[in-house]
Amino acid sequence: MKIIDTKDISKLLIKYRYLSIGLTALVVFLLATGLTKLTFNPDLETYFPEGHPAVIRYNEIDDMFIPTDNLIIAVHSKEETLFNKESLKVIEELTQKSWTIPYSVRVDSLTNYSYVQSINDDLIVEPFIEDAEKKSSAFLEKREIIVSGEDIIYKSLISEDKKTSVVSIIIDPPGPKKEDQNSELIDYILEFLEPIKESNKNLDIRLLGNPYMDYISPRIVKAEMPVVMPLMMMLIFFIVFLMIRSYMAVLATFVVILMSLIATFGSVGLLGNPLNQMVTTIPILIITLALADCIHLFSIYFQNRVKGISSKDSMEKSLEMNIQPLFLTTISTCIGFLCLNFIEVPPLRDLGNAVAIGIGFAFIFTIFFIAPIVSFFEVKTSSKVSDQTRFSTSIGSFILRNSNKVLFSVTSVAFLILLCIPMNELDENPTQMYDEGFTTFSSDTLWLDEKLSVTFPINFLATNNEGQVSDPEFLEILDNFSIWLSEREQVNHVTSLANNMKSLNKSMHGDDPEWKKIPDNSELSAQYLFFYEMSLPMGLDLNSSISQDRKSTKVSATLKDMSANEFKDFNSEVLKYLKQNKLESIISEPSSFRVIFTYMVEAIVNSLLYGLFIGILLITLIIGLFFRSFLLPAISIFPNILPIAIDFGLWGLFVGNVGFMVAIGMGSTLGVIVDFTVHFLSKYELARKQMKKSVEDSINYSFETIGFALIIMTVVLVLGFSVLNLVTFIPIQDFAKFSVICFTAGLIINFLILPNLLVKFDRRIF
């Protein structure tokens, strides 16, 4: 007894086709109401792996001090240094205007830096440069010399060659409507920034920072979707028409895709899940996978039509042969995407769930809407159908004739490719996620890093468990750690309370360099810090580096741009230093936005490997249940896993850098590759069990009935995903490249390896 009587279901679907069409149309109408509830969240912090130690440290430091989410206005002099009236006036103007930006809580720049000096035993704290236009050239020349000795800002707010400076604007984290609030503050900045740039051609002024990246993201998506989506649709439907030669099939496929997209995004809106940078991939994944369902349905339909069978009976036969494999491939593909739920990254979980929903709806609309509608029309069949069938049959015959040669050649090449997998390096740079075109953000970041090296900041949390941060013994520990850090080759600049206290001590002793050291008296140290804080202007206090309970402080450093593995080597040095000096309970590991992205890919890969194992196990069990066989699921494992492994081998050979979206490709492509195996095995089992054919004849029957459909499906998938290379978001480009390689490898492996495995291991007698 069969688990699913597909013949009866097919007859019922055609018999009650009016009801089926009406109910599916009603479902689409109801789900469409969710489209008005869609929101967009561009915040890259939502990609942080939940519960990861680096994320916990980042949040702890952010909660304890002023948030580190900052905008940067970089100012570079094309000729002389910035220490002239015109350039300094621009920096002053930018600083003053930055205080008026919505949601800004602190602005640091070369001009408003709190310069400390001692005059007649009085501690004077004043802006480093004020009213630059009125200052004499001698004063500015003196300040240019002095700045080299100001450890706090030299090589941090001003470059070593004194030609590049930054205005750092700390932004209070916006609330729930982050996209609107980001737009408000960035639009405000651009409004005053553009006139300043236009009137100062001798200066190169650029805007950078995470809030600006969050501002760019939705605009890129909105600009690219109207280009990418129509182009992809036109390309795919053109290929489908060339291969199927039926206007009705193309129109029906378009309807399935449209209904699937409406239902998917409507469901996302009703569930309340915000869209993000991944939104471009959702419709393309759904379109290509929905198209695959339609191709399989029409492939068998046209094969029956060319034999002179009526449209109604042809659709019944197509449904009879396709319901079970399409249902099984829908489940397997959904499992592949649902594997993303093992990742502790909400946007990626939302991506997997949205695509799984879309795939489910594509199956429903193909079977319950399009199939009944097409059965009403006597669709004409192209003469090419017979040629296509002969072509795919000839492939099967060739593979069977050269079984041993094919198996040896493919496995040998695959083995050599697999040896390249260790050449991959897990790495992700959040500042280099956008291609040139719509924005110059990535190149601007590299430009600033080359001139000032401030794009890889890290923070350490230092806590005095036995007293206040002003305690000399604690400050000595900080000072030794800061000096050790600054001596590292990877470190560009270090900022710590110890540096401030040494400068204060020097100032309180007539600016005598001999006194640039930690005060040795705890009461005196506390008084210095108190008087210094009282002298600081509003908004430039030490809340950004000292906790409210005065027990903790933040040590900050900027690193040279480096890969994930290079940072991990540096981090190992830090941990070794802390352990040797027994400081693990006093100074934390480094943390920052960049640090989290360093570990993010590793966290995603580890989660996905577990999810992939569960997914393969479930898919294998389901295949065994549907085919009521132990042999077929065992045979299917190899062609299901090998394409992904080959993909990583080729990626290591030609690219080498594995970002988070390449890692996502492991889970998302699994379900699609299983589609190839399931469709091939379903036709093979039909021939073996019901038609009592031999293994070789059953393999030929699979190639005859489904071979060309799998070729069309692969071509469509490859073309559809290739269009994603047009988007600006580089991780999506990598995802597209990885997927294209995987789909191609999947078809080749299933055509060349699977038939040979069946010949060698299927000894069943029916």
Residues 606-633 have a mean pLDDT of: 87
The set of residues, in sequence order, having a beta carbon less than 8 Å from that of 179 and lying 6+ positions away, is: 39, 40, 41, 42, 214, 218
d(CA 167, CA 98): 8
At 121, is the pLDDT very low, low, confident or very high (cuts 50, 70, 90)? low
Query: What contacts 539, CB < 8 A, 6 or more positions away?
Result: 99, 105, 106, 107
Amino acid 1: pLDDT: 35
β-partners of residue 206 are: 74
Residue 381 has pLDDT above 80, yes or no: no
Residue 2, SS3 per DSSP: coil
Alpha helices in 703-753 (DSSP H): 708-722, 730-752
Indicate if the pLDDT at residue 179 is higher than 60: yes
> 189 and 249 in contact (C-beta within 8 Å)?
no
User: What would the pLDDT profile of 251-271 be if each residue is shown by its tens digit?
Assistant: 888 899 999 999 999 999 999
Q: At 466, is the secondary structure helix, strand, or coil?
A: coil
Question: 546: helix, coil or strand?
Answer: strand
Q: State the CB neighbour count (10 A cutoff) for residue 16.
A: 13
Rounded CA-CA distance 19/22 in Å is 5
Q: Which amino acid is at 180?
A: D
Kindly report, residue by residue over 655-710, the tens digit of the pLDDT.
988 888 888 888 778 878 888 898 899 889 989 988 889 999 999 999 998 888 88
Q: What letter represents residue 123's amino acid?
A: L
619-648 mean pLDDT: 90
Q: Is residue 442 predicted with pLDDT exceeding 90? A: no
Give 719 or 476, the one with higher predicted confidence. 476
Give every CB contact of residue 225 below 8 A, 6+ residues apart in sequence: 279, 280
Average pLDDT over residues 390-409: 90
Mean pLDDT value of segment 13-40: 91
**Alpha helices, DSSP H only, in 558-630?**
564-580, 593-627
**E strand or H helix at 6, and its extent?**
helix 6-15
Q: Rounded to the nearest 5 degrees, what angle is found at the Cα of 764, between the Cα atoms of 761 and 766?
A: 155
Q: Residue 685's closest CA among 663, 705, 658, 661?
A: 705
How many residues are there in the chain? 766
CB 298 within 8 A of CB 373: no
pLDDT of residue 571: 93
Q: Which two tokens stand for residue 736?
A: 């597209």
- Alpha-carbon distance of 124 to 114, in angstroms, equals 10
- Pairing outcome for strands 122-127 and 114-119: antiparallel
Q: What is the mean pLDDT of residues 406-413?
A: 91
Q: Among residues 106, 84, 80, which one has the least CA distance to residue 95?
A: 106
Q: What is the mean pLDDT of residues 75-99?
A: 94
Q: Is the pLDDT of residue 38 over 70?
A: yes
What one-character DSSP code corresponds to residue 461? E
pLDDT in tens, 541-574: 777 788 888 899 999 999 988 888 888 999 999 9
Going by pLDDT thresholds of 50, 70 and 90, the confidence category of residue 423 is very high
For residue 2, what pLDDT band results from cuts at 50, 70 and 90? Answer: very low
- Residue 68 pLDDT grade (very low, low, confident, very high; cuts 50, 70, 90): low
Q: Region 110-117: what's the mean pLDDT?
A: 87
Instruction: State the sign of the Cα–Cα–Cα–Cα dihedral 490, 496, 502, 508.
Output: positive
Mean pLDDT calculated for residue range 221-241: 80
Contact 208, 72 (CB under 8 A): yes
> In this predicted structure, what is the pLDDT of residue 531?
79
- Model pLDDT for residues 491-537, shown as the tens digit of each residue: 999 989 888 888 888 877 777 888 888 888 888 888 888 877 777 77
Looking at beta carbons, which pairs linking 172-176 to residues 24 or more positions away fall under 8 Å?
172/67, 172/103, 172/104, 172/105, 173/67, 173/69, 174/103
State the Cα–Cα distance between residues 257 and 520, nearest whole angstrom: 74
Torsion of CA 152, 171, 455, 606, to 10 degrees: 130
Q: Which two tokens stand for residue 51?
A: 């519960």
The predicted pLDDT at position 758 comes to 92
Whole-prediction pTM: 0.83
Q: How far is 660 from 4, CA to CA, in rounded Å?
A: 40
- State the DSSP code for 343: S
| Both structure tokens of 702 | 């699979």
pLDDT of residue 536: 75
Q: Name the nearest CA neighbour of 749 among 291, 352, 418.
A: 418
Handedness of CA 436, 437, 442, 445 (dihedral sign): positive
Instruction: Reduce the DSSP state of residue 530 to 3 states and report it.
Output: helix
CA angle, 760 then 761 then 766, to 5°: 115
Secondary structure (3-state) at 456: coil
Half-sphere exposure of 358 (CA within 13 A, CB side): 30
- What 3-state DSSP class applies to 473? helix
Residue 534 CB contacts under 8 Å (≥ 6 apart), including other chains: none
Taking residues 298-308, report their average pLDDT.
84
Q: Which of 168-182, 286-300, 575-589, 713-727 has the lowest mean pLDDT?
A: 168-182
Write down the pLDDT at residue 539.
65
Which pLDDT value is given to residue 150? 86
Q: Is the pLDDT of residue 117 over 80?
A: no
| Residue 642: per-residue pLDDT | 93
- pLDDT for 415 equals 93
pLDDT for 3 beyond 60: no
Relative orientation angle of helices 281-305 and 311-338, to the nearest 10 degrees: 150
pLDDT at 29 over 80: yes
Instruction: Give the three-state DSSP class for 441.
Output: helix
Radius of gyration of the chain (CA): 32
pLDDT at 461 (0 to 100): 94
Q: What is the pLDDT of residues 466-490, one digit of tens each?
A: 889 889 999 999 999 999 999 999 9
Query: CA 262 to CA 29: how far, in whole Å?
Result: 9
Looking at residue 384, what is its pLDDT?
67
